[in-house]
Amino acid sequence: MQKIDSATGSEIRSHEWDGIQELNTPLPRWWLWTFLVTVVWSVAYWVVMPAWPMIGSYTKGVLNWSQRDNVSAELKLTAQARRPIANRLVAALPADIESDPQMLEFALASGRAVFKDNCAPCHGSGAQGFVGYPNLNDDDWLWGGSLGEIEQTIRYGVRNANDKSRFSEMPAFVKLGTLNRTQVADTVEFVLSLSGQAHSADAAGRGSVLFAEHCASCHGEGGQGDRTQGAPNLTDQIWLHGKSRIALTTVISNARNGSMPAWGERLSAADVRALAVYVHSLGGGEPEPGQ
């Protein structure tokens, strides 16, 4: 005999424990159907799509769908689409690149992307540089600021094992015993005077004699620098290693001689060219020599 609970209107089940009885409240129909549909859906999904992990592999599903394959197919298509313009960029003369808006846009966009991936760790994401790593936005160049010179620096690098790498070595004057600490202190005062910083005139006077003898061959008589040797201009306000007495003393005593990899060994010719165009565009780019 079915009993009905008067408060809820639900059926009361026939069992009873210590006077406690249970109402019969079945799941709502819509809920049950939704549940059954999801069960059927999941089984169908296992069959069609990649689903179950197995040792060293997984069930591929009848569609054989793969996000990874889709992405690599897309990358291949993009690379194919880029090839003609990338080839054109590699073959172009510097002057042609800047007068061809489509090629210029392509070079700047890919140069910016390759720069973020490869150069930002040392030169900063805005190419602003760090101590020991030159700022590439300014018009102060160690090795030259024309498109061709920048490209050569990037392709072959600086002070590395590549035969064509940019090369020069400032001597470590104290380590080598060429100058003693007092003499270095004098050259430091002279270098401070070159860039108009506070200095002791007496010491700078002695330093200028030492400079002419030991430093001018690379940094120039007046300290204006020499790009054929990557020797920085010491008369401007831009410093690779710092302008303080301590920084100057350390550089002159021990030398730094920073190095950069030869990117032509790692990146495609089109990427190197695009990087050169990008760096050249950052603000300090110079015209080609002879133009």
Residue 204 lies near ligand HEC (rule: CB under 6 A): no
How many Cβ atoms from other residues are within 10 Å of residue 205's Cβ? Answer: 13
The yes or no reply on residue 279 touching ligand HEC (CB under 6 A) is yes
**206, 186 in Cβ contact below 8 A?**
yes
Under rule CB under 6 A, residue 203 binds ligand HEC: no
Dist. CA 145–CA 276, nearest whole Å: 10
CA pair distance 179, 187, nearest whole angstrom: 10
> Is the CB of 98 or the CB of 135 nearer to ligand HEC?
135
The one segment of 5-13, 34-42, 63-71, 212-220 that binds ligand HEC by CB under 6 A:
212-220
Q: Which is nearer to ligand HEC, 103 or 194 (CB)?
A: 194
Q: Which residue has the tokens 């602003």?
A: 128
Give every strand in the sheet of 20-24, ordered side by side.
Answer: 3-4, 11-17, 20-24
Alpha-carbon distance 249 to 244, whole Å?
8
Q: Is 282 in the site for ligand HEC (CB under 6 A)?
A: no
Residues sharing a CB contact under 8 Å with residue 90, sequence separation 6 or more, in sequence order: 269, 270, 273
Contact between 89 and 270 (Cβ < 8 Å):
yes
Among 218, 249, 254, 269, binds ligand HEC (CB under 6 A): 218
CB of 24 or CB of 283, closer to ligand HEC: 283
Answer for which of 119, 174, 194, 203 binds ligand HEC (CB under 6 A) is 119
Q: What is the DSSP string of 140-194?
A: --SS--BHHHHHHHHHH-BSSSSTT-B------TTTTTSS-HHHHHHHHHHHHHH
Query: Of residues 136, 174, 204, 270, which one binds ligand HEC by CB under 6 A?
Result: 136
Q: Kindly tell me which of 98 and 271 has the beta carbon lying closer to ligand HEC.
A: 271
Looking at 153, 165, 193, 208, which residue binds ligand HEC (CB under 6 A)? 153
Report whether 270 contacts 106 (CB < 8 A).
Answer: no
User: If binding is defined by CB under 6 A, does position 150 make contact with ligand HEC?
Assistant: yes
Q: Please identify which residue in 12, 92, 122, 269 interacts with ligand HEC, judged by CB under 6 A.
A: 122
CA 202 to CA 210: how far, in whole Å?
A: 13
Q: Which of residues 164-193 bind ligand HEC (CB under 6 A)?
A: 168-171, 173, 187, 191
273 is an interface residue for ligand HEC by CB under 6 A: no
User: By rule CB under 6 A, what count of residues binds ligand HEC?
Assistant: 49
Interface ranges with ligand HEC (CB under 6 A): 115, 118-119, 121-123, 132-134, 136, 141-143, 150, 153-154, 158, 168-171, 173, 187, 191, 211, 214-215, 217-219, 229-232, 234, 239-241, 248, 251-252, 256-260, 263, 275, 279
